[in-house]
Structure 1
Amino acid sequence: MDFSLPEECRAFRDTVHRWVDAEAPKKWARELERDEHNYPFELWDKFTAAGFHGVGIPEEYGGQGGDVIMQMLLARELARSLGGLAWIWGITSFAGSKSIGLYGTEAQKKKYLPLISTGQLKAAIAFTEPSGGTDLLGSMRTNAERVEGGWKINGEKIWSSSAHVADYLLCIARTDKNVAKKHQGLTLFWVPTNNTPGLTITPLAKLGMRSMGSCSVHLADVFVADENVLGEPDRAWYMLLPTLNNERIMVGAFCLGVIDGILEDAVDYMKQRHAFGKPIGQFQALQHYVADIATMQTTTELMLHYCAWKQSKGENVGNEANMLKLIASENANQAADLGIQILGGMGYSAETDMQRYWRDSRLWRIGPITNEMVRNGIAENLGLPRSF
């Protein structure tokens, strides 16, 4: 059993690590996220110049290539400094390149993947409904009806991150109401946002994940052409399942990157700060805190690498991806809380990053699926009756 990364992966990881320190340091991340509604286009442009938008997109479509392991290494390194701002890269990577790459037509791949890989196209996810949250299937009210040349969509979505600057929305809607099971009869649409009649996007205020923006999306007779349907109509849920696993692995990588940043800051502060005539790093209680953070880091890393490796081999990783999302999000949020405790008053200050890591990681215990629902799924996979 070999736990080491291939040389190509190690070289890529080290290159991104140096890039983050030089181009996206923590101080700059704090400045970017202070203005909740000021999207950091300069960060997007830096990702473009570095070629990050092309990671995971085949070279034949203008990308950099690389599998899920390379994508997770990138996600981890970005989040080490940027925290939730790493989603600036992640959202389009999931909504655009991953989705179109998996179930787009050849024409759709040739049209959109080169634009994504060169940073010319931003995408957002429009799945969650205001009344449903995690109960996406049961709460689905957004519907689409066939019209000449395409479809008309009506409904409302919420928590669509970066929708206000996106060129396209990856939107799911019900296209058949006469189905035996609620996961049937759903279709994926690639909805253009520029000057689209009937489409209203409104930014929302929130605790963390600032600057990139999260929005409500209202669709009133929004026309989408047939060529902007992704995959086979009425079968969206079957297509989405592999990408949802990828999203949970990506969340695990972001959480691990946050833990990396927390541990860096905690150790540095404990070496520099003095109290009661000695460095606080000499205090046993704080040593226990930092040891706990380091243990969270290693356990999350092992689970992440296992999940990414398994998916890269084409194996079913659904249950493991759920477990990863669960432990990674809870480890990251607990580590950030310990980090605040280590820094004391400065941990609560907006002049340091612990509070930012805490605010951003708190969301990952809720989305893209709540940890309570993750636990339900894990228990059901062990043979227990469905609890919801």
Structure 2
Amino acid sequence: MDFRLTEEQELLIQSLEELLQREVPDSLMAELDEAKEFPYKPWQALADFGILGLGVPEEFGGTPADIQTMTLVCETLGRHAFPLGIIYALGMITIRDIVQFASDEIKQRVLGGLVSGDPPVALGITEPQAGSDAAALKTSAAFQGDDVVFNGQKMYCTLAGMTRYIMLMTRDQQIEDPYQGISMWLLPTDTPGVRCNKMAKVGWWTIPSYEVYIENACVPKSNLIGQMNNGWPQLMANFEIERLALCAASLGAAEGAYDDAAAYANQRQQFGRSIGSYQAVQHLITDMAVKIENMKNYVYKIAWMMDNDLPVRHEHAMCKLYVAQASFEVIDAAMQVLGGLGYTMEHRVQRLWRDIRLMRIGGGTDEIMYNIAGPQLLKKARK
């Protein structure tokens, strides 16, 4: 494995860092967080710079990119403005599903807008009774001539109330095996019968999540993405990449918190000397650095494996499990180094602390990652 960046990657990340420093100062992200507003202006800046087109086919205005490059982008966004990294990561799964499985008409309708700065397509899968047990969903699709009518409810549907489309997962209750009866659809959010209620959350204030109520919402049958009743394998095809992207953004957030803590440890004076001169603080900083190095190695190993078409069935779950926990631990330690300042609303570490906690839940809980990795590890050991 060679993790050295290409000349093009180095130039891309350097230019992206300059863009973020110029267009997305932390003061702006703090204002947006306090106002609980989506970062429209920063998101448009990323579109204008070409970041949102990475991985999208050229015929739709995008630029081919490997997974390592998009992982680098996620990490850089996470380090400078964590919500942007999360939004970018959330868009990767729906974009890739559309690129791989949708009709040319849907691709033409959706992808150009995403490249130009539309918020990502929301993923509508979780329901009140179907969280980690995603296949237990009940949202239905009934055919009426050339149309299909949806009824159901979705929970924690991030971005649904502000995006143009939801990638809606429905289930045919007549099929005994739930994994064989799930279909994937494109649901415009302005369809009559679709109602979104914004949810109050501990963190992710600039990334709104919604309850979505769907009552007799009618769209053409041509809004089917991929094949009927093949939605589950289509969704699973790109869950691994979404989880990797979330890990990369979380790695970036941990790096940002480390930067703040190390700078503060060198600057803050107590008892006539910098607090960084005390062994207790040095231990915290060192533990943070070790975890960041471990996270980085894990994240880019998975990216390398994916780019080389190697299976990552249990490896990606272990990576998600470790990074979700380690990134929180690093940010929590940064808050400890910062002391009272880190707990005030004026410092970005408190935003990172609130936002990073969801990483152990969203995109697959810690417990589900154990359930994915454990059986695969034991199966491997039996060979």
Where on the TM-score scale, by shorter chain, does this alignment land: which range?
Answer: over 0.9
Query: Are 1:61 and 2:60 matched, yes or no?
Result: yes
Aligned partners of 1:171 and 1:189 also within 8 Å: yes
Decide which of 179, 182, 185 is 2:178's aligned counterpart: 182
Measure how far apart 1:6 and its partner are: 2.2
Matched with 2:187 is 191
Q: Structure 2, unaligned stretches of length 5 or more?
A: none
Measure how far apart 1:330 and its partner are: 0.6
In 1, the alpha carbon distance for the partners of 2:294 and 2:132 equals: 26
Matched position secondary structure for 2:184? strand
Aligned partners of 1:137 and 1:183 also within 8 Å: yes
In 2, the alpha carbon distance for the partners of 1:347 and 1:122 equals: 32
Query: Are 1:146 and 2:162 matched, yes or no?
Result: no
Over the aligned positions, Cα root-mean-square deviation in angstroms equals 1.5
Matched with 1:118 is 116
Within 5 Å, which residues of 2 pair with 1:370-385? 370-383=365-378
Give me the TM-score of the superposition, normalised by structure 1. Answer: 0.94
Matched position secondary structure for 1:382? helix
Query: Are 1:341 and 2:339 matched, yes or no?
Result: no
Decide which of 107, 110, 121 is 1:109's aligned counterpart: 107
Moved more, 102-111 or 158-167: 102-111
Decide which of 98, 101, 115 is 1:100's aligned counterpart: 98
**For 1:26-75, what per-residue CA distance to the aligned partner results, in whole angstroms no more than 9, with x for missing partners?**
22211111122x32322222222222211111222211221211111111
In 2, the alpha carbon distance for the partners of 1:372 and 1:90 equals: 21
Give me the TM-score of the superposition, normalised by structure 2. Answer: 0.95
Aligned partners of 1:56 and 1:70 also within 8 Å: no
AA at the equivalent of 1:151:
V
Decide which of 283, 291, 295 is 1:288's aligned counterpart: 283
Aligned partners of 1:124 and 1:163 also within 8 Å: yes
Measure how far apart 1:128 and its partner are: 0.7
Matched with 2:26 is 26
Matched position secondary structure for 1:137? helix
AA at the equivalent of 2:9:
C
Decide which of 116, 134, 144 is 2:132's aligned counterpart: 134
* Count of residue correspondences: 379
Sequence identity (%): 30
Aligned partners of 2:119 and 2:162 also within 8 Å: no
Query: Are 1:173 and 2:173 matched, yes or no?
Result: no
Matched position secondary structure for 1:218? strand
In 1, the alpha carbon distance for the partners of 2:177 and 2:235 equals: 16
Matched with 2:16 is 16
Aligned partners of 1:323 and 1:378 also within 8 Å: yes
In 1, the alpha carbon distance for the partners of 2:313 and 2:115 equals: 27
Measure how far apart 1:254 and its partner are: 0.8
Decide which of 199, 220, 225 is 1:225's aligned counterpart: 220
Measure how far apart 1:121 and its partner are: 5.9
In 2, the alpha carbon distance for the partners of 1:121 and 1:228 equals: 19
In 1, the alpha carbon distance for the partners of 2:307 and 2:89 equals: 18
